[in-house]
Amino acid sequence: MKWLVLEELAPWLCFTVSAKTPTPYVACNTEDNIELQQDEQQLQETMSGTTDKLLMEMRKISALLETKIRSKAEDINKSVEDNRTKYNWKLASAVIDRILLIIFSILIVGGSAIFFITFAVGYHLHN
């Protein structure tokens, strides 16, 4: 398959494929070399302008990426701070809940004890 492609493309690319060596070599005449050099000069002139444009675009992309990364980092920091605040409020609510549980338990046990003592003492006093 490789050799078929090389044989078909060789005339178009000024390549000659030798049957002895598997690597093709350039076999163009001097007129083609002059045209090739002129094309290379035009390409280099075009590339210098294109390179500048590409560098400017790359700088813009880099600036946008830096902005995106900074905003992402700020979002992460804000998220971490929000999570800390949520954790602190959960801890505070757990502490308040425990304190109220203790107060409620004391009031229920104490109130029940007072009720039963009053009932027992009142019952014995009437008898």
Question: Confidence class of residue 2 from pLDDT cuts 50, 70 and 90?
Answer: low
Residue range 69-126, pLDDT digits in tens: 888 889 898 999 999 999 989 998 999 999 999 999 999 999 999 999 988 887 777 7
Residue range 12-60, pLDDT digits in tens: 555 554 555 444 444 455 565 677 677 777 777 766 677 778 788 888 8
Contact residues for 25 (Cβ-Cβ < 8 A; gap 6+): 15, 16, 18
Contact residues for 28 (Cβ-Cβ < 8 A; gap 6+): 14, 36
* Residue pair 10/24 in contact by the 8 Å Cβ criterion: yes
Q: What global pTM score does this model have?
A: 0.42
Q: What is the dihedral of CA 89, 91, 93, 99, to 10 degrees?
A: -150
